[in-house]
Amino acid sequence: MLRQVRLFLVLTLLCLFGLGGIASAQLTDQQSEYYQGWVSTADRAESVIRASRASNASLENLRSEINSYREDFNRARGANTDRIQTLEGQLKALGPAPADGETEPEDIAKLREHLESQLNSLRVPRIISDEAFSRANGLISEIDRIIRDRQKRELLERGPSPLNPIFWRPAWIDVKEASQSLINETVENLRTDTVQEQIRERGLGIFLLLAISAVLLLFGRNWSEKGGAYLRAFGGHGSGVWTFVISLLRIVLPWLGVVALIAAIMLTGVPGLRGTLLIQEVPYWAAILFYFDWIGRQIYLMGAAQNFQRLTESKIKELRVYIDLLALMLILHELTLLFEQIENISDATRAVVSFPVVLATALLLLRVRQIRQSEPRQDQADQDTPRRAAGFSQLIEFLRRALFLLGIATPVLAAFGYINAAEAIVFPAVETLILIAALVIVQRFISAVYGWLSGQGEAARDSLFSVLVGFGLAILALPILALYWGARETDLLEAWSRLLLGFDIGGVTISPSNFLTFAAIFAIGYMLTRLLQSGLRNSLLPKTSIDPGGQNAIVSGTGYIGVFSGGVDRHHRCRVRPVIAGHRGGRLVSRDRFWSANHRVELCVGDHPSGRTPDFKRGLDRCERNDGVCPRYLGPVHADRDVRSVRCDCTELGPDQWCGYELHAREYDWSVDCARWRGLWHRYPQG
């Protein structure tokens, strides 16, 4: 057994430290200690897991220790890859090994034996590293399972009901004693000679911090407005960009003032143990207040920019009050958790103290739900609903229903003693609601910056760029939402590490690095293609005698040879000025089946001779009213038929017939059940 352990040690460390072969394998005492540390850690972890009595904090520390070993083993699994491939190539060059009873030249046999020996010395450590990695991975999975089971039991645990009057007086006594202990502790520290000596020695630093805090708290917002007036001189007036920047400065500068104030208090040494734990949380609580107030202000500015069409000014002001109160409820919840951490209180006291906060938060959510948007005028609804208002209204309606359920369910759960479940629902709901508002605000800001830089202005909010930004922000917000709703940071790191390892599909490993490589190559190729097209369009082709339609076909064909070939083919066949090109399903469309049904033509560009009178609108309206039946004058044939038959006939017309009709179309969308014509026709007299 000892020999096997030593062999395992040697082979594993060869892989861990990237040694190329047996000849260079020399173990040091430090390497031996490293491996023995892993063995002892793994054995200890297995004992802890079997006992399942360690605290969550101890399990998290043990998990972190095992994870560091796992990362080393993971790196070791990829060691010597190039050398192994080289040796395999050398063996392949020697040909297959001789079968039983056959021989090969002595020199080749010795070379084959030497190569196989080197290959085995490199393969075995990798196999052992895989085994060690699997062991570490399994231990981490077991620890995560234990912690998740404990969290689930704690979430579903039923405690004392806060509505029982028996628990009210003990809870009040616990709160009163905790407050009195905090005050007494602070007063006693202030009277000690050590604290007074610290105040005298650090008096100048304390005074400077207090002065900085007072200046930032009193003048920070005024300075932000003046700074915004200076920034607007760089341009972008009316875009909303600098207004957003000013709003950030309005909360950052006062928050820095709070941080300076807390630093001055800590520098005095007056707070004791309880006071230190309490005062260290003040910057975080101040950040919550400023953040929620910033959200409310941004909602007001968005409503003012829209002339309060969706929500009236009074409703937005009411909503701002509710948002600030929700921030206060979150701070009280954090204070309750800190109170439980500092003082040894009972479950009944915790339930009694937490229930009013949960109830008030639920009522505030119900009040937020009661705020409805104003009914838009009919002309505004016709213009905005197809683009933005429909999707936004659906999101608002979903949130309203969710808030109603949460506002009713959480107080009921807390009243029956499920205080942990109530807190795990209502407060993450508040944070999620604010996060959604923040994402909308940030998306509007990025779209405003894009509209300012591109010159599109307000139109940039409906652009594809804005949609992509919103999608990207939603993806980035997923880890934050997971943390809000109970996920641990280690869970996110574990998911990220597994994502980096990739996943196998049909024997092919797909990882983010592969995807990013593909995206980078595609982006480079796309930019080079665009540069080439720009050079052809602006420099080369205008100097030739090719007509504008042919120039457009050549430029398009540079990017996609299929579109180019189809356009040239259709141009020469019809012998008229229009250039008609298209593709379907990623293939070049044949000219005989160019207008096949149940396919979508993605590109169809046409041009008509000057001096001709277009008459497409009347025909298009008649075509839509007749449910796809083409009017007589649109087709070069003698009878009314459906659009499908007319277009099939049009593709087979000869030059003499075709010249009387010309197609200027942008989109075709055919379906099996009902062929709908969505193109534009131009008719002009023959000759």
How far is 214 from 261, CA to CA, in rounded Å? 8
pLDDT in tens, 9-60: 444 444 444 443 333 333 346 656 776 788 888 889 999 999 888 888 899 9
Is residue 93 within 8 A of residue 111, CB to CB? The reply is: no
Which of 280, 308, 328 is the C-terminal boundary of a domain?
280
- Beta-bridge partners for 668: 601
Domain for residue 585, yes or no? yes
* 147 and 20 in a common domain: yes
pLDDT at residue 385, rounded to an integer: 47
How far is 615 from 595, CA to CA, in rounded Å? 23
Percent of the chain with pLDDT over 70: 70
φ, ψ at 505 (rounded to 5°): -135, 110
* 147 and 19 in a common domain: yes
Higher pLDDT, 131 or 424: 424
φ, ψ at 587 (rounded to 5°): -120, 160
Residues 433/437/439/443 CA torsion (nearest 10 deg): 160
pLDDT at residue 631, rounded to an integer: 37
Question: Which residue blocks in 273-345 are alpha helix, DSSP H?
Answer: 273-279, 282-305, 313-342
* 271 and 210 in a common domain: yes
* 96 and 18 in a common domain: yes
| Kind plus residue range of the DSSP H or E element containing 587 | strand 587-588
pLDDT in tens, 364-393: 998 888 887 655 555 554 454 445 555 566
Query: Which residue matches tokens 């960009």?
Result: 241
* 235 and 150 in a common domain: no
Domain for residue 424, yes or no? no
Domain for residue 66, yes or no? yes
Query: Which residue matches tokens 């100097």?
Result: 543
How far is 189 from 184, CA to CA, in rounded Å? 9
Count of beta carbons in the 10 Å neighbourhood of residue 385? 14
- 412: confidence class by pLDDT, cuts 50, 70, 90: very high
- Please state the pTM of the whole predicted model: 0.68
Query: Across the chain, which distance is largest between two alpha carbons, in Å?
Result: 111
Is residue 320 within 8 A of residue 296, CB to CB? The reply is: yes
How far is 281 from 106, CA to CA, in rounded Å? 78
pLDDT in tens, 189-236: 888 888 888 888 888 989 999 999 999 999 888 888 777 667 766 665
* 214 and 144 in a common domain: no
Q: Which of 271-275, 365-369, 621-625, 648-652 has the lowest mean pLDDT?
A: 648-652
* 151 and 197 in a common domain: no
Say how many domains are in the chain: 3
Q: Which of 200-204, 288-292, 441-445, 552-556 has the lowest mean pLDDT?
A: 552-556
Q: Which two structure tokens, joined as six digits, stand for 14?
A: 């060869």
Higher pLDDT, 610 or 64: 64
- 560: confidence class by pLDDT, cuts 50, 70, 90: low
Is residue 659 within 8 A of residue 612, CB to CB? The reply is: no
Domain for residue 557, yes or no? yes
How far is 429 from 403, CA to CA, in rounded Å? 8
Q: Is the pLDDT of residue 320 over 80?
A: yes
Q: Is the pLDDT of residue 354 over 90?
A: yes
Is residue 531 within 8 A of residue 523, CB to CB? The reply is: no
- 293: confidence class by pLDDT, cuts 50, 70, 90: very high
CA 264 to each of CA 101, 194, 276, 288, 542: distance values in angstroms, whole numbers, following the listed order: 90, 17, 13, 21, 72
Domain for residue 525, yes or no? no
* 232 and 150 in a common domain: no
Domain for residue 457, yes or no? no
As a whole number, mean pLDDT of residues 412-425 equals 92
Which of 255, 280, 305 is the C-terminal boundary of a domain?
280
CA 647 to each of CA 16, 411, 675: distance values in angstroms, whole numbers, following the listed order: 70, 66, 11
- Beta-bridge partners for 601: 668
Domain for residue 220, yes or no? yes
Is residue 581 within 8 A of residue 605, CB to CB? The reply is: yes
* 150 and 18 in a common domain: yes
Domain for residue 603, yes or no? yes
- 71: confidence class by pLDDT, cuts 50, 70, 90: confident
Q: How many helices (H) and strands (E) does the chain have?
A: 24, 10
Is residue 414 within 8 A of residue 358, CB to CB? The reply is: yes
As a whole number, mean pLDDT of residues 73-85 equals 80
Q: Is the pLDDT of residue 65 over 70?
A: yes
Q: Which two structure tokens, joined as six digits, stand for 204?
A: 């100048």
- Beta-bridge partners for 584: 587
* 203 and 152 in a common domain: no
* 236 and 132 in a common domain: no
DSSP calls for 490-515:
HHHHHHHHHHHH-EEETTEEE-HHHH
Query: Which residue matches tokens 């932000």?
Result: 224
Task: Give which of 254, 164, 163, 165 is closest to 212, Cα–Cα.
Answer: 254
How far is 319 from 315, CA to CA, in rounded Å? 6
Higher pLDDT, 295 or 644: 295
- Beta-bridge partners for 322: none
Higher pLDDT, 301 or 332: 332
* 7 and 152 in a common domain: yes
| Kind plus residue range of the DSSP H or E element containing 601 | strand 600-601
How far is 460 from 605, CA to CA, in rounded Å? 26
Q: SS in 3 state form for 166-226?
A: HHHHHHHHHHHHHHHHHHHHHHHHHHCHHHHHHHHHCHHHHHHHHHHHHHHHHHHHHHHHH
Is residue 240 within 8 A of residue 460, CB to CB? The reply is: no
DSSP 78: T
How far is 197 from 426, CA to CA, in rounded Å? 47
- 614: confidence class by pLDDT, cuts 50, 70, 90: very low
First and final C-alpha spacing in the chain: 101
Domain boundaries, position 616: 545-683
